[in-house]
Structure 1
Amino acid sequence: MSRTHTAALLAAGPAGAHRGLTVALFAGFVLVTLGITLWAGRQTRTAADFYAGGRGFTGLQNGLAISGDYMSAASFLGIAGAIALSGYDGFLYSIGFLVAWLVALLLIAEPLRNSGRYTMADVLAFRMRERPVRTAAGISTLVVSVFYLLAQMVGAGSLVALLLGIEGDAAKRWTVVAVGALMVLYVTVGGMKGTTWVQIVKAVLLILGAALMTVLVLARYGFDPSALLGAAAHASGKGAAFLQPGLKYGASPTSKLDFLSLAVALVLGTAGLPHVLVRFYTVPTAKVARTSVFWAIGIIGAFYLMTLALGFGAAALVGPRTVKASNAAGNTAAPLLAQELGGGPGTTGGAVLLAVISAVAFATILAVVAGLTLTSSASFAHDLYANVIRRGRATEREEVRSAKWAAVAVGAVSIGLSLSADKLNTAALVALAFAVAASANLPTLLYSLYWKRFTTAGAVCSVYAGLVSSVLLVLLSPVGSGTATSLFPHADFQVFPLENPGLVSIPIGFLAGWLGTVLSRRPADPAKYAELEVRSLTGIGAH
């Protein structure tokens, strides 16, 4: 690739006469999603409408919405960038994200739908003391959601900066603020129904966009995947090592342990992600919940296969050096590839394809941040405000109003934190959210659903131990400080060598739940567990 071509790509946004077309396509996409939100807002009247979309979605619709929730900026932007920069090791994110659905399908989806109402805490509170477990689950939900929101906001800043040719930190900060304002508007106006339909539309468009780019990439190499991989290896400057394990995670024993920690967190984390769990409450029965997971696995699996073409295509056609120069974490690899496939910088085709793919990616971010914000605000309103602070005396109107105010607060916190995390790869940020979910939420859910002796003390210990250990280890790791891409790049207080804490924090969560239970002075109520078991397996008495 010539120096002139590289410089043109680094200009990031389409130039001159093409920028108006790009902005028009981009704005049109945002207006369509806002229209869907306003329509859904008129259909939202009760708490069940706001939290669960009236429980009226089919298996296919919910499967698409789950896919829309799951195929986030980490999937489209982060994984494509990770593959473009790290080759085979970058694709390991895709494998972990996909395999994780087996845990959700086999152990969580059906019993969770039968046992709860709106949130994960409903399952825990069924057989335990309500206030302690709702407080713990509500705090955990907020922390996981904020971590996940960070990834989406970072991706939004990188994407819009590329799309509009924005330069300078101040302009990028205003971009993040605008994304935050949009996500708050989506949640407060549309609720779960609006968010779900935006996710469905976004999932369809994302699959179509990824499929189009995959076909165009393969067409460049005569539909020969071997030729594509060979070109990517050559352009990477790493040769055959680019296509083999170990480029990122095999350099030392520490990096190998880091990969194992990442893999465990990805596989176990999905079943503990609050914004995925609440999707099971939007369908009428547990059977439909299971059907929706089958649809989600098929859709997500097809998409992650296409990330191979996107990542290696970006490596071959754009080049890792150009991708890294545009964004150090690789978050702009997919849009840059779209521009190149359309004809290159300065061409009408390049501007149009860049605008379309960037608009789809931006819709991806908006849909996911809306889902995350809705989940965290619902947990605050339903678990903390209505059942802990008001002790069950809040009306539905008060509860929904508190959820909307919570959405504003969560948006403000996410904006503030994301401004200092712009150098982190979005896939890495999401992996951290998975680690927290796997450490704090999954052990508590599994114990509650399948262990008769599990107590309130065990649940509280499991949530807090998993939550505190995972967050603390993240802060004390290279993700927190000590490197140019850390949250605090100008400080160095790292003492934990692994970037992902799952290998340590997940066992801590399970161990704390067991210890809290066996040492508890208040034994579990066997009658309540028997009732929960019948409900979770048969659906009798489910909402």
Structure 2
Amino acid sequence: MSPVLHLAASSATTEHRPLIITLFAAFVVATLFITVWAGRQTKDAADFYAGGRQFTGFQNGLAISGDYMSAASFLGIAGAIALFGYDGFLYSIGFLVAWLVALLLVAEPLRNSGRYTMGDVLAYRMRQRPVRTAAGVSTIVVSIFYLLAQMAGAGILVSLLLGITSDGGKIAIVALVGLLMIVYVTIGGMKGTTWVQMVKAVLLIAGTLLITFLVLWKFNFNISDLLGEAARNSEVGQKGNPDAFLEPGLKYGVDGMTKLDFLSLGIALVLGTAGLPHILIRFYTVPTAKAARKSVNWAIGIIGAFYLMTIALGFGAAALVGPAEIKASNPAGNTAAPLLALHIGGVDSAWGAILLAVISAVAFATILAVVAGLTLASSSSFAHDIYANVIRRGQATEKEEVRAARWATVFIGIVSIALGALARDLNVAGLVALAFAVAASANLPTILYSLFWKRFTTQGALWSIYGGLASSVFLVLFSPVVSGSPSAMFPSVDFAWFPLSNPGLISIPLGFLLGWLGSVLTKEKPDAGKYAELEVKSLTGIGAH
């Protein structure tokens, strides 16, 4: 640990640790109170899965923003910009543009066609049991990939805040997040999760706005001065080439392979949002399709404003903290935003400790809200699609279904804790990008074909989901993310033969191809009547829940 970082993480935080822990605990207690309050109002399956469909377009847009602006957005993107400049900001662009796909193609038809999960839409005109099983498996796998990033972010964040440096301590923090996640979902259901996400969105925007203002104030609101100082203070700037920090190519344009890697990343980010289970289920929490559209419009505005502010977070961290201290704290750059807050307030001052505590607590609230949404999506899919409609063949009562969802929450929480401990040192933005790739490979082709192609069949759906899922996960396992590089999950071994860090360039087209191929090669004839019903329902909302 560098001397400056030691001062930042030890001197300032040790002196003011009681204050830091108090502020930190206040956020956790407040969200737990909201969860218990909402849990008392959860009376049936509609309340648990969809919050009783009582949220307005603005409320749901705020909750979607809270669900979407995850640890990847706040911690990972700020770190990526601080270390890689222009190329790091490409994450923000990809995450934001993705909402246009969700708005134009998915939000309204999905809200009209389903009841609680993605499996409801897919099973409407196909054989129930195999398609619901596939949808449930895909939802759980995508959610666990996304949960890895949140768990990693939590371990890094709290370790910095409390001065924990041992691997055992970081793993204990990951376990704590997992336990809180289980409590939120089992007690609060969708109502509790939604209110936590709304509160978290307001806190995150307020905290980011404060840091953005302070960074710009530090440079007399001259963005050119901020960018110039960040470039000079960057690694390439210290080597005499500051312009490279503000130009494309520092990370993704080094050679032909990194250009392909960026193309793969871009495709995954733009197409992945419309296939993310925890985003899709949010469209069922509003009473009408019009409210679903409004919620996406609000989400785009809120998320767009946030991603603009990541410029100040990332470049501010490069300018005021420096890459050496950021990497010494976390090699992937995930602590750039909290360290920036500490430096703006003063490394050895009470204000610095307070800012660090507030921003870290906001980031922790961010993580808790997102993991609750992810866990709810995966446990709901297991209970509603696999348990109620496959195992019990539609004979389960609502009470049994909700009980199954709560047990699934416990199991998914345990798996997430175990995998999150392994992924604790990886860049959280990169981990989320992998989840986007898996979602775009397995879920998006099947959703679009189901809604808009009348020749789509059960076999096509199964080939698309399982093929896209298997290919994306398989390529990730043999990519530099898992082994073969110093920043890999297992850096000491090398079994990576797939050269790209993101599989989207291969697995997403393959998911679409398999969906088409499976449909044209089967002898099964699509039900034209069912497709006509689904088309009318999805476009008009007639008969929607």
Counterpart residue type for residue 158 of structure 1: I
Match in the other structure for 1:423: 425
Give the whole-Å Cα distance in 2 for the aligned partners of 1:297 and 1:4.
40
Give the whole-Å Cα distance in 1 for the aligned partners of 2:415 and 2:289.
35
Give the whole-Å Cα distance in 1 for the aligned partners of 2:11 and 2:428.
20
Post-superposition Cα deviations, 1:306-329, rounded to whole Å, max 9, x if no partner, equal: 000000000000001110110011
Q: Which residue, out of 495, 498, 508, partners 1:496?
A: 498
Post-superposition Cα deviations, 1:330-360, rounded to whole Å, max 9, x if no partner, equal: 110000000011122x210001000000000
Q: Is the 8 A contact 2:484 2:495 kept in 1?
A: yes
Post-superposition Cα deviations, 1:17-39, rounded to whole Å, max 9, x if no partner, equal: 30100000000110000000000
SS of alignment partner, residue 16 of structure 1: helix
Match in the other structure for 1:223: 221
Q: Is the 8 A contact 1:12 1:162 kept in 2?
A: no
Counterpart residue type for residue 202 of structure 1: K
Q: Which residue, out of 261, 269, 274, partners 2:272?
A: 269
Give the whole-Å Cα distance in 2 for the aligned partners of 1:379 and 1:13.
47
Match in the other structure for 1:69: 67
What pairs with 1:230-269 in structure 2 (closer than 5 Å)? 230-238=228-236, 239-269=242-272
Name the stretch that deviates more: 415-424 or 466-475.
415-424
1:464 partnered with 2:462: no
Give the whole-Å Cα distance in 2 for the aligned partners of 1:330 and 1:237.
13
Aligned identity (percent) is 72
Post-superposition Cα deviations, 1:266-288, rounded to whole Å, max 9, x if no partner, equal: 00000000000000000000000
Q: Which residue, out of 278, 281, 289, partners 2:281?
A: 278
Q: Which residue, out of 388, 391, 394, partners 2:393?
A: 391
Q: Is the 8 A contact 2:5 2:328 kept in 1?
A: no
Match in the other structure for 1:532: 534
Q: Which residue, out of 499, 516, 519, partners 1:517?
A: 519
Match in the other structure for 1:15: 13
1:322 partnered with 2:325: yes
Match in the other structure for 2:239: none
Q: Is the 8 A contact 2:70 2:150 kept in 1?
A: yes
- 1:398 deviates by 0.3
Q: Is the 8 A contact 1:477 1:495 kept in 2?
A: yes
- 1:301 deviates by 0.1
Counterpart residue type for residue 456 of structure 2: F
Q: Which residue, out of 123, 126, 140, partners 2:121?
A: 123
SS of alignment partner, residue 167 of structure 1: coil
Q: Is the 8 A contact 2:12 2:350 kept in 1?
A: no
- 1:52 deviates by 0.2
- 1:489 deviates by 1.7
Shift in alpha-carbon separation, 1:71–1:7, aligned structure 2, 3 A: closer
SS of alignment partner, residue 265 of structure 2: helix
Shift in alpha-carbon separation, 1:12–1:261, aligned structure 2, 3 A: farther
1:34 partnered with 2:32: yes
SS of alignment partner, residue 62 of structure 2: helix
Counterpart residue type for residue 395 of structure 1: T
Give the whole-Å Cα distance in 2 for the aligned partners of 1:331 and 1:9.
19
TM-score (norm 2): 0.98
Post-superposition Cα deviations, 1:413-467, rounded to whole Å, max 9, x if no partner, equal: 0000111111210000000000000000000000000001000000000000000
Post-superposition Cα deviations, 1:390-432, rounded to whole Å, max 9, x if no partner, equal: 1000000000000000000000000001111112100000000
Counterpart residue type for residue 177 of structure 1: A
- In structure 1, the gaps of 5 or more residues are none
Counterpart residue type for residue 32 of structure 1: A
Match in the other structure for 1:354: 356
Counterpart residue type for residue 278 of structure 1: I
Counterpart residue type for residue 236 of structure 1: S
SS of alignment partner, residue 523 of structure 1: coil
Counterpart residue type for residue 322 of structure 2: G
Counterpart residue type for residue 505 of structure 1: S
Shift in alpha-carbon separation, 1:139–1:12, aligned structure 2, 3 A: farther
Q: Is the 8 A contact 1:13 1:164 kept in 2?
A: no
- 1:11 deviates by 2.8
Give the whole-Å Cα distance in 1 for the aligned partners of 2:170 and 2:12.
17
- 1:365 deviates by 0.1
- 1:375 deviates by 0.5
Give the whole-Å Cα distance in 2 for the aligned partners of 1:68 and 1:16.
31
Post-superposition Cα deviations, 1:113-161, rounded to whole Å, max 9, x if no partner, equal: 0000000010001000000110111000000000000000000000000
Give the whole-Å Cα distance in 1 for the aligned partners of 2:181 and 2:5.
34
Give the whole-Å Cα distance in 1 for the aligned partners of 2:235 and 2:328.
15
Counterpart residue type for residue 462 of structure 1: S
Give the whole-Å Cα distance in 1 for the aligned partners of 2:8 and 2:355.
17
- In structure 2, the gaps of 5 or more residues are 237-241
Give the whole-Å Cα distance in 1 for the aligned partners of 2:479 and 2:2.
39
Q: Is the 8 A contact 2:66 2:198 kept in 1?
A: yes
Counterpart residue type for residue 293 of structure 2: R
Q: Which residue, out of 86, 91, 103, partners 1:93?
A: 91
Q: Is the 8 A contact 2:49 2:380 kept in 1?
A: yes
Q: Which residue, out of 323, 348, 365, partners 2:367?
A: 365
Counterpart residue type for residue 120 of structure 2: D
- 1:7 deviates by 3.9
Match in the other structure for 1:191: 189
- 1:523 deviates by 1.1
Post-superposition Cα deviations, 1:58-89, rounded to whole Å, max 9, x if no partner, equal: 00000000000000000000000000011000
Match in the other structure for 1:433: 435
- 1:262 deviates by 0.1
SS of alignment partner, residue 292 of structure 1: helix
Q: Is the 8 A contact 1:26 1:359 kept in 2?
A: yes
Give the whole-Å Cα distance in 1 for the aligned partners of 2:11 and 2:64.
31
- 1:472 deviates by 0.3
Match in the other structure for 2:108: 110
Counterpart residue type for residue 357 of structure 2: A
Moved beyond 4 Å, runs of 4+: none
Counterpart residue type for residue 514 of structure 2: A
Counterpart residue type for residue 449 of structure 2: Y
Match in the other structure for 2:338: 335
SS of alignment partner, residue 261 of structure 1: helix
Q: Is the 8 A contact 1:13 1:19 kept in 2?
A: no
1:408 partnered with 2:410: yes
Counterpart residue type for residue 255 of structure 2: S
Counterpart residue type for residue 79 of structure 1: I
TM-score (norm 1): 0.98
Q: Is the 8 A contact 1:478 1:499 kept in 2?
A: yes
Post-superposition Cα deviations, 1:342-393, rounded to whole Å, max 9, x if no partner, equal: 122x210001000000000000000000000010000000000000011000
Cα RMSD (Å): 1.0
Give the whole-Å Cα distance in 1 for the aligned partners of 2:314 and 2:258.
22
SS of alignment partner, residue 45 of structure 1: coil
Q: Is the 8 A contact 2:455 2:526 kept in 1?
A: yes
Shift in alpha-carbon separation, 1:339–1:433, aligned structure 2, 3 A: same
What pairs with 1:141-180 in structure 2 (closer than 5 Å)? 141-180=139-178
SS of alignment partner, residue 441 of structure 1: helix
Give the whole-Å Cα distance in 1 for the aligned partners of 2:394 and 2:315.
53
Q: Is the 8 A contact 1:77 1:331 kept in 2?
A: yes
Q: Is the 8 A contact 1:272 1:442 kept in 2?
A: yes
Q: Is the 8 A contact 2:103 2:296 kept in 1?
A: yes
